[in-house]
Amino acid sequence: MDVVNLIEIMAALFIFAIGAVVLVVIVLFIIDVTQTQHAVRRNFPVVGRFRYLFEHMGEFFRQYFFSMDREEMPFNRAQRSWTYRAAKDISNTVAFGSTRDLNPIGTVLFVNCPYPTLASDASQPEEITLGTDCKHPYTTNSICNISGMSYGAISKPAVLALSSGARMAGCWMNTGEGGLSPHHLAGGADIIFQIGTAKYGVRDKDGGLDDDKLREVASHDQVRMFELKLSQGAKPGKGGILPGGKVTEEIAHIRGITPGHDSLSPNRHPEINSHEDLLVMLERVRNITGKPTGFKAVIGAYGWLDVLFKEIVARGLETAPDFITVDGAEGGTGAAPMPLIDAVGLPLKESLPLVVDKLKEYGLRERIRVIASGKLVTPADVAWALCVGADFTVSARGFMFALGCIQALQCNKNTCPTGITTHNLRLQKGLVPEDKAQRVANYARNLSKEVCIIAHSCGVPTPRRLRRYHARVVMQNGLSIPLDELHPELSAAAPAEATPASHPGIS
């Protein structure tokens, strides 16, 4: 064989190899754009596959080159991985030993008992009725629910998937402050309608509350409760921010604003200047809708709670909010100034027990239900909130992970690679509601299931039987103390016996 023939053969092999590579790429491209399981691959065919390769290789090389399991913020790899597996309904068992350091101050450890609850003795979470005096009270046994994410902050397919998944799991979803869209209703979920400071969806031409629009929203049977948002964990003292690039024609119509312009909510409700005004607004909404009504707040100054609760006792328990959603300063958002995210408000570990104890102090604990919000994405997080005294928990980012969120931190832009927080139709196509709804349902069910596992280890038949003495907290000396020693349990006082203590923050 002469040199010329050899070169010709090598050239032919090279051309064949190039053709084979091109063919493989074309086949992979077609597979990726037509599959519906993975949003990143659907939006970024072929190239998106490298993400999974790097993620897999990271398991072996991260101790030399990448972050460890528990190092990342706001959610670390261990938290995300647990959520992804729960959403996919695959095994969430781990081997060898925990990667969690049990020594840092504040670490929560649950107290197992020698005789844990047998499966045969376990029971379903108890049903709780909110708004017992309302025309249309709401009864549910759901523990883990979907927190407020407005249509606008998240996309149409994301809303559809969340609504359908919530219905399948038997939990509720909160609309966020962006109003009620057809996509919320399409999935068939129970809905909590949030009234933000801009009153989107129920606002009049001057930005005030429109009673007729409120009645129209309440006419939907799926809308079960109303939540008046005073403040949000990631940005207390600042209203909602939706960049103009995300204000589409449909979103503008639902909100009652101008398309293409930034949607900026006031930093508080202009008509609520005092605890009296707050009670008047809550009663107004409840009387118009006939449905349970409460409020959401981040706790910073807390003396106002004494003033509010004292006023409720004086007016009568029927004037009380039906629930309070306590949002921790670690809460998430689509867009907020960094100083507010980093440095304003109390974290949930401090504010939740404070609110629960204040309600007990004034004899209001059984009248006002407590919903906890703030990075409660894993079973241990939820179980801790129940130990402290929450009736329900809600999460937004946990359910975003269930939708396929990869923590790209692009929520404030229109470039979310998984289609969750973007209105770019090319990127939205990666999120197929029918597939992601099942993952949402799986996550909600597995989260509740593993909260039950913790409860059974502690010896109680159902998670709502968890109490503060079922958990301990690591202190500065490296040893743990019971949670009820750190936050002593209060017995519920009779309303007539309640007297306000002196606390800072009364203004």
pLDDT bucket at 289, cuts 50 / 70 / 90: very high
pLDDT bucket at 493, cuts 50 / 70 / 90: low
- φ, ψ for residue 194, nearest 5 deg: -95, 130
pLDDT bucket at 498, cuts 50 / 70 / 90: very low
Which is more confident, 205 or 501?
A: 205
Segment (H or E) for 145? strand 144-146
Is the pLDDT confidence value at 391 over 90? yes
Distance, in Å, from the CA atom of 225 to the CA atom of 369, rounded to the nearest integer, reads 13
What pLDDT, on a 0 to 100 scale, did the predictor assign at position 121? 87
Q: Name the one residue in this structure whose structure tokens are 């009670």.
A: 279
Distance, in Å, from the CA atom of 222 to the CA atom of 379, rounded to the nearest integer, reads 28
Tokens of 7: 């070169």
Q: For residue 36, give the amino acid letter.
A: T
**Which has the closest alpha carbon to 395: 414, 378, 380?**
378
Q: What is the pLDDT of residues 111-163, one digit of tens each?
A: 999 999 998 888 888 999 999 999 999 999 999 999 999 998 899 999 999 99
Please report, for the chain, the start and end positions of each structural domain, with discontinuous segments joined by +: 1-65, 128-497
Distance, in Å, from the CA atom of 377 to the CA atom of 28, rounded to the nearest integer, reads 34
Is the pLDDT confidence value at 66 over 90? no
- On average, the pLDDT of the chain sits at 87
Is the pLDDT confidence value at 41 over 90? no
Is the pLDDT confidence value at 385 over 60? yes
What pLDDT, on a 0 to 100 scale, did the predictor assign at position 212? 96
Q: Which of 3-17, 235-249, 459-473, 478-492 has the highest mean pLDDT?
A: 459-473
What pLDDT, on a 0 to 100 scale, did the predictor assign at position 61? 56
pLDDT bucket at 56, cuts 50 / 70 / 90: low
Say which range, 160-164, 263-267, 395-399, has the weakest mean pLDDT: 263-267
What pLDDT, on a 0 to 100 scale, did the predictor assign at position 506? 39
Range 252-268 average pLDDT: 86
Distance, in Å, from the CA atom of 453 to the CA atom of 455, rounded to the nearest integer, reads 5
pLDDT bucket at 53, cuts 50 / 70 / 90: confident
- Residue 389, C-beta contacts closer than 8 angstroms, at least 6 positions apart: 352, 353, 356, 357, 365, 370, 468
Distance, in Å, from the CA atom of 366 to the CA atom of 57, rounded to the nearest integer, reads 51
Q: Which of 111-125, 404-418, 449-463 has the highest mean pLDDT?
A: 449-463
**Which has the closest alpha carbon to 348: 397, 298, 302?**
298
Is the pLDDT confidence value at 5 over 80? no
Please say whether the beta carbons of 345 and 328 come within 8 A.
Answer: yes
The model carries a pTM of 0.85
**How many helices (H) and strands (E) would you count in the chain?**
17, 15
Segment (H or E) for 451? helix 433-457
**Which has the closest alpha carbon to 256: 212, 203, 182?**
203
**Which has the closest alpha carbon to 137: 148, 128, 146, 124?**
128
Q: What percent of the chain has pLDDT over 70?
A: 91
Distance, in Å, from the CA atom of 420 to the CA atom of 467, rounded to the nearest integer, reads 36
Q: For residue 8, give the amino acid letter.
A: E
> Cα 8 to chain center, whole Å?
63
Say which range, 73-87, 302-316, 414-428, 488-502, has the weakest mean pLDDT: 488-502
pLDDT bucket at 502, cuts 50 / 70 / 90: very low
Segment (H or E) for 503? none
Range 273-285 average pLDDT: 96
Q: Where are the alpha helices (DSSP H) in 458-495?
A: 483-486
- φ, ψ for residue 191, nearest 5 deg: -125, 135
What pLDDT, on a 0 to 100 scale, did the predictor assign at position 362? 96
Distance, in Å, from the CA atom of 26 to the CA atom of 463, rounded to the nearest integer, reads 51
- Per DSSP, the three-state class of 220 is coil
What pLDDT, on a 0 to 100 scale, did the predictor assign at position 369? 98
Q: What percent of the chain has pLDDT over 90?
A: 54
Q: Name the one residue in this structure whose structure tokens are 């949930």.
A: 348
Q: For residue 13, give the amino acid letter.
A: L
Phi-psi region of 407 (alpha: psi -120 to 50; beta: other; left: phi over 0): left
Which is more confident, 433 or 98?
A: 433
Is the pLDDT confidence value at 103 over 80? yes
Range 214-225 average pLDDT: 97
Which is more confident, 76 or 221?
A: 221
Reply yes or no on domain 128-497 having CATH 3.90.1640.30. Answer: no
Distance, in Å, from the CA atom of 341 to the CA atom of 332, rounded to the nearest integer, reads 8
